[in-house]
Amino acid sequence: KRSGAWCSAMRSQRKLGGDVRPIVVNVCNFAKGDPALLSYDDARTLFHEFGHALHQMLSDVTYGFISGTSVARDFVELPSQLYEHWLEVPSVLEAHARHWETGEPMPAAMLERLLAAGTYDQGFATVEFVSSALVDLEFHTGAAPADPMQRQAEVLESLGMPRAIRMRHATPHFAHVFSGDGYSAGYYSYMWSEVMDADAFAAFEEAGDPFDPATAARLEKFILSAGGSEEAEALYLQFRGRMPGVEALLKGRGLLDAA
């Protein structure tokens, strides 16, 4: 069986030729057990994939080929990664993160430690990812290097890459960009999506409510229901009123003061 988790549309939404509603499935590989319990990472995966499902189910476009997640590669992860933020809202965790036998919610001290752990070692994680993304871009925007490993070393040297940190995916096993065209010159899109999802969730924080109805309505109208009907930049501008900034991402990773 395929590993990981994913969202698939068995039928895409469209209005052409009638009002066709989407059929969407989330598939996850959660551990079996008696009882079957979800880890915190499992819960994050569930929220992530349901974000993709919402993108499909709330789609409201004319043509099926631009419905739901049929958007630019560096925009498709915005709804899914944005939805992960609601997992960390204390009221949400208090509602579902309960002891399977007693029904007691997670103790406040444990919840605080759990959320604080999210910023642990994020400087390392950020550098190892960005280095892989920049090497990918270098390989796909210039002449093919005669010695890929030598070119990788040159790129890392130009970045001032600390020797104690290695790329997340070194060239010989960088399957994202060589086993198919999906992420060729596009590995950066994961980090770019994080910039957008952090900035988008900040809109709810600025409104003073993670469930603010007005902000949620804009999110549905300009992101979740729009599919690929307009350029991603135009859709985000209509939702947020400006292009995303990096500050919310740095804050979420605990790096704002360091920056």
Annotated catalytic residue, options 49, 84, 88, 194? 49
Give the residue from 137, 170, 141 showing the smallest Cα distance to 153: 170
Contacts of 194 (CB under 8 A, 6+ apart): 81, 249
Pair 239, 222: CB distance under 8 Å: yes
Beta-carbon neighbour count of residue 204 at 10 Å? 20
Cis, bond preceding 35 (omega within 30 deg of 0): yes
**Quick check: is 49 catalytic?**
yes
- CA dist 88 → 10, 44, 200 (Å): 30, 9, 15
Q: How far are the Cα atoms of 10, 31, 61, 192, 217 from residue 225, in angstroms, in the given order?
A: 18, 33, 7, 21, 10
Is the distance from CB of 7 to CB of 52 less than 8 angstroms?
Answer: yes
The token pair at 51 is 């974000």
Which positions are annotated as active-site residues?
A: 49
